[in-house]
Chains A and B, each alone.
Chain A
Amino acid sequence: MWQYIIRRLLQAIPTLLGVSIIIFFVFALTPGDYVDTNIQLTPEKAHELKVLYGLDKPIIERYFIWLGNVMKGDFGFSLQFQKPVTSLLNDYIWNSFLIAIVSLILTWTIAILIGVYSALKKYSWFDVLVTLGVFAAMSFPSFFLGLLLIKFFAVDLKWLPVGGMTYGGSNSTGMAYVLEVLKHMILPVSVLTMLSVGSLTRYFRANMLDVIRQDFVRTARAKGLKERVVIFKHALRNASLPAITLLGFELPGLFAGAIITEKIFAWPGVGHIHMQALDNRDYTVLMGFTMFLAILTVLGNLLADIFYSVADPRIRLK
């Protein structure tokens, strides 16, 4: 087991190095940084800033300096927000995490329930409806779905706030604050859930269809077990085994901050910061953030593999 984990860890190193090279050079090739585009700076001041942040050094040298810092956990300094990128991320990432984790829990609960039920009632009208819904969920452009929900629930019906995390100028505390945030969360969480629930439902349905045809399910029925026990204890457990892998892939998504959804709902998460940094050409933030996400993705893949090798020991031999 440990041998497998170590082997996978070693494989992740060249991938991460390659990722860092691509990310760094894509950003380094971009002309016009925060210093260049800030017209309020005098040439002397601009040069001073460039020296201060090491922007005058040759590009290869800058790459290694940057890589060394990243390995120490230092993703650079944001000129726009005037603080280190790590502390900037730390300020906003938990807002992103909040809507991501709630929608993750919702997505998995809904997907398992609907997936299992529509597999049991294969080709019923419910199943057809679910199939259509799944395709609709997979085909909606996220921003258009968000805009429609805002237009309908916030602008026309005025049931829910248009965006943000709290009402402007609100200083409620305690329960009132929690309720206020909850109310603002409903729409973004719905969008995130609707976007991801489709493919997962399909996945559970397909797995469940595979499993309920197998011999051990027939044996369990033949033993005279209750149908509920057969389905939820024997079949569902086996059907969710491959899904454990997917849980690993969710890791980056939890912290990535949905860029588009957060932009539309003006939710103060990292995705929102990402768009602001883009508008101000604050590339340190974008670079640090992209690298951070790539590290999480590689970690997530690694976790998925490890989960899977725990669930299915045969995989380790490959």
Chain B
Amino acid sequence: MALETTRSVSNDPAASRVKPAKSPSLWKHSWRRLRKNKLAMFGLVFIIFMFIFCFIGPLFSPYTNGNTDILNMKKAPSASHWLGTDLVGRDVLTRLMQAGQISLTIGIVSMILTVIIGGGLGVISGYYRGFVDLVIMRLADILMSIPSLPLLIIMGAIMTEWKVPPEYRIYIVMIMLSILGWPSLARLVRGQILSLREREFMQAAESLGLRDYRKMFYHLLPNTLPMLIVVCTLTVGGAILSESALSYLGVGVGPTTPSWGKMIDLANNLMDFQKRPWLWIPPGLAVFLTVISINLLGDGLRDALDPQGNR
């Protein structure tokens, strides 16, 4: 990635102190470039729509209490239930919104955890180099060598064995996803820090006698922000995909927590799969459309924040 030149001009702490107005111009420029990218803008608009749909949508639904309705079980889509009802008579559309809250939350929280672990360890590794770097990068190598799906599946099984209360499983899923996600991010950050720390602005920071902590997290890390933003976006999509796969396999969130993957899980029942597609196709499409929007936005952000890129 050839991001350094544009960034060091605008984020250089010495420069920004002289001309504070300089810093936002990078973001303004990028935003202008992003706006020209139709696919990325579609992604952004759809993601915003999805958030409104999942978090505000239930307010307009008469079925939010999740009560079972024995008279209206397994009904096909109709005027009162737009996407039909499920096996115990709950409204599928409302459930889709509530499941979306869970899936989106898992995506975002595990992204934040991944960035905290991966970004932190990456900066430390690139800044101190030597032995610390060796240990952290070895650990990353090791974690990246273990096939992730079998490992996630077995961690999910362990949760079941340890009788983790179903409502806590969602937090463990988030932690699991970030444990497997941080190594690649740490590598990327480390790579950038290794070259950034040789820059002149770091010599300036050095001569000011700043503490390591300040140098790492106030001077080096902000310079990797354009890359971090892109990776963050894509990580959210990846986490939503992984969560849906885990829940589909029955080792993700607990049975009482609705998530999109958990809803598609119903397709494991042959009758529901063949005769009642309204139960599992809408959540599948929701995952697909959300993840494709996130990927389009992430790709657009990459182009916008990295004008030298050739794509």
Interface residues in chain A, defined as those with a beta carbon under 8 Å from any beta carbon in chain B: 14-16, 18-19, 22-23, 26-27, 29-32, 131-132, 135-136, 138-144, 147-148, 150-151, 155, 206, 209-210, 213, 252, 256, 259-260, 263, 274-275, 278, 281, 286, 289-290, 293-294, 297-298, 301
In the assembly, what is the distance between CA of A32 and CA of B161, in Å? Answer: 7
Known contacts being A147-B264, A206-B310, is A27 close to B244, with CB within 8 Å?
Answer: no
B65 at the interface (CB under 8 A from A): no
Query: Is there contact, CB below 8 Å, between A141 and B284?
Result: yes
Residues of B within 8 A of A278 (CB): 153-154, 157, 251
Could you say which of A19, A138, A209 contacts B145, with CB atoms under 8 Å apart?
A19
Known contacts being A252-B147, A259-B153, is A18 close to B139, with CB within 8 Å?
Answer: yes
Known contacts being A18-B138, A147-B273, A151-B277, is A298 close to B287, with CB within 8 Å?
Answer: no
In the assembly, what is the distance between CA of A281 and CA of B153, in Å? Answer: 12
Known contacts being A144-B264, A259-B153, is A139 close to B237, with CB within 8 Å?
Answer: yes
In the assembly, what is the distance between CA of A88 and CA of B115, in Å? Answer: 40
Selected interface stretch from B181-189, B210-218, B288-296: B288-296
Residues of A within 8 A of B251 (CB): 278
Residues of B within 8 A of A30 (CB): 154, 157-158, 161
Query: Is there contact, CB below 8 Å, between B310 and A135?
Result: no
Known contacts being A209-B311, A278-B153, is A141 close to B245, with CB within 8 Å?
Answer: yes
- What bracket does the count of chain B residues touching chain A fall in? 35 or more
In the assembly, what is the distance between CA of A49 and CA of B129, in Å? Answer: 50
Interface of A is mostly: helix
Chain A nearest CB from B84 CB (Å) reads 16
Residues of A within 8 A of B291 (CB): 139, 141
Query: Is there contact, CB below 8 Å, between B154 and A27?
Result: yes
Q: Would you give 24 A-B contacts (Cβ < 8 Å), ordered by A?
A: A15-B145, A18-B142, A19-B142, A23-B151, A26-B155, A30-B158, A132-B39, A139-B237, A139-B241, A139-B291, A141-B287, A144-B287, A144-B288, A209-B310, A213-B310, A259-B150, A260-B249, A263-B249, A278-B154, A290-B146, A290-B147, A293-B147, A297-B147, A301-B145
Query: Is there contact, CB below 8 Å, between A22 and B154?
Result: no
Residues of A within 8 A of B288 (CB): 136, 139-141, 144
B60 at the interface (CB under 8 A from A): no
Residues of A within 8 A of B284 (CB): 141, 144, 147-148
Q: Would you list the 8 A-B pairs with minimal beta carbon distance, nearest first?
A: A144-B284, A139-B292, A18-B142, A139-B291, A293-B147, A290-B150, A297-B145, A32-B161
Interface centre among A23, A29, A143, A278 (most CB of B within 10 A): A143
- Residues 255-311 of B contacting A (Cβ, < 8 Å): 261, 264, 267, 273-274, 277, 280-281, 284, 287-288, 291-292, 294-296, 299, 310-311
Query: Is there contact, CB below 8 Å, between A290 and B245?
Result: no
Query: Is there contact, CB below 8 Å, between A143 and B264?
Result: yes
Residues of A within 8 A of B206 (CB): none
Query: Is there contact, CB below 8 Å, between B287 and A286?
Result: no
Could you say which of A14, A29, A274 contacts B150, with CB atoms under 8 Å apart?
A274
Query: Is there contact, CB below 8 Å, between A290 and B139?
Result: no
Chain B nearest CB from A17 CB (Å) reads 9
Query: Is there contact, CB below 8 Å, between B149 and A15?
Result: no
Q: Mark B241-255, 1 if CB is under 8 A from A, else 0.
A: 100110011010000
Known contacts being A136-B292, A209-B311, is A23 close to B145, with CB within 8 Å?
Answer: no
Query: Is there contact, CB below 8 Å, between A294 and B145?
Result: yes
In the assembly, what is the distance between CA of A18 and CA of B138, in Å? Answer: 9
Residues of A within 8 A of B295 (CB): 135, 138-139
In the assembly, what is the distance between CA of A142 and CA of B287, in Å? Answer: 11
Residues of A within 8 A of B158 (CB): 26, 29-30
Query: Is there contact, CB below 8 Å, between B155 and A259?
Result: no
In the assembly, what is the distance between CA of A301 and CA of B147, in Å? Answer: 13
Residues of A within 8 A of B310 (CB): 206, 209-210, 213
In the assembly, what is the distance between CA of A146 and CA of B39, in Å? Answer: 26
A31 nearest in chain B by CB position = B161
Query: Is there contact, CB below 8 Å, between A141 and B244?
Result: yes
Residues of A within 8 A of B280 (CB): 147
Chain A nearest CB from B207 CB (Å) reads 31
B275 nearest in chain A by CB position = A155
B131 at the interface (CB under 8 A from A): no
B139 nearest in chain A by CB position = A18
Residues of B within 8 A of A147 (CB): 264, 267, 273, 280, 284
17 new A-B pairs (CB below 8 Å) besides A18-B139, A290-B150?
Answer: A15-B138, A15-B142, A18-B141, A22-B142, A22-B143, A141-B264, A141-B291, A143-B248, A151-B277, A210-B310, A259-B150, A259-B153, A278-B157, A281-B157, A286-B150, A293-B147, A294-B146
Query: Is there contact, CB below 8 Å, between B245 and A142?
Result: yes
In the assembly, what is the distance between CA of A209 and CA of B281, in Å? Answer: 38
In the assembly, what is the distance between CA of A139 and CA of B273, in Å? Answer: 22
B248 nearest in chain A by CB position = A143
- Residues 88-146 of B contacting A (Cβ, < 8 Å): 138-139, 141-143, 145-146
A18 nearest in chain B by CB position = B142
Interface centre among A27, A132, A141 (most CB of B within 10 A): A141
Chain A nearest CB from B33 CB (Å) reads 16
B283 nearest in chain A by CB position = A144
Q: Mark B172-183, 1 if CB is under 8 A from A, else 0.
A: 000000000000
In the assembly, what is the distance between CA of A148 and CA of B237, in Å? Answer: 21
Chain A nearest CB from B131 CB (Å) reads 14
Query: Is there contact, CB below 8 Å, between A256 and B147?
Result: yes
Known contacts being A15-B138, A155-B274, is A26 close to B151, with CB within 8 Å?
Answer: yes
